[in-house]
Chains A and B, each alone.
Chain A
């Protein structure tokens, strides 16, 4: 199994632009999580899906952030418009359910200038 696959690995964009991060979970995992990692705040849960349905998006910082999971093998996290304070590493993780061990992707390092 290739693990959780995220793309792109690095993204540099200008303030105000739309950014889309992508994630392919491990086949058979029915829970998917988006986390954001910064030095100041550590790892924060943004949103999670169970069986492709968003369960809790209370961690999404603002309406500029949105996430979708159109099928079991693909999820996106979109930021529109992006701001410099959105600069962080965004991790996607998947699991068989919300409490079993998570497998993390390699992350997307986002820099908004």
Chain B
């Protein structure tokens, strides 16, 4: 059974700082997704990573995938308040997407 773990679950960052969110998954997954959810809102797709070594970047967010380590990271560069949200990773084996518990990010001045 595919399991997905994220850490940390809660993250409070100062504006301008860098940090990384980690996503581990337990069995082979052919792709890895990152989603963002604002409070009371739906999930918005950020990145899909399709192969070992894949790296995607959008603004201050960069996601990477290491399929051998079964690890994906979401790196935040020079955080700004607008990045405050909950970030989910999701993996897929021979199943629909299995989501991590999410990382609640708060960026403070």
Taking Cβ atoms with an 8 Å cutoff, the residues of A that contact B are 31, 33, 35, 42-43, 45, 48, 56, 91, 93, 98-99, 101-107
Contacts and interface: CB of A to CB of B under 8 A. Distances in A.
B42 A102 contact: no
A50 B22 CA distance: 31
Interface in B66-106: 88, 92, 95-102
Nearest to B30: A99
Given A33-B96, A42-B101, A43-B99, A101 B43 contact: no
B18 interface: no
A46 to B, nearest CB: 10
Interface in B31-83: 31, 33, 41-45, 48
Kindly name the residue among A91, A103, A104 whose own CB sees the greatest number of chain B CB atoms within 10 A. Answer: A104
A23 B48 CA distance: 25
B42 A91 contact: yes
A20 to B, nearest CB: 20
Given A99-B31, A99-B92, A101-B33, A45 B98 contact: yes
30 contacts: A31-B96, A33-B97, A35-B99, A42-B99, A42-B100, A42-B102, A43-B88, A43-B99, A43-B102, A45-B98, A48-B96, A56-B96, A91-B42, A91-B43, A93-B43, A98-B95, A98-B96, A99-B30, A99-B31, A99-B97, A101-B33, A101-B45, A101-B48, A102-B97, A104-B42, A104-B43, A104-B44, A105-B42, A106-B41, A107-B42
Contacts of B31: 99
B107 to A, nearest CB: 21
A6 B95 CA distance: 24
A104 B46 CA distance: 13
Contact of A98 (B42, B44, B92): B92
Contacts of B48: 101
A101 B43 CA distance: 11
Contacts of A43: 88, 99, 102
Contact of B42 (A31, A45, A106): A106
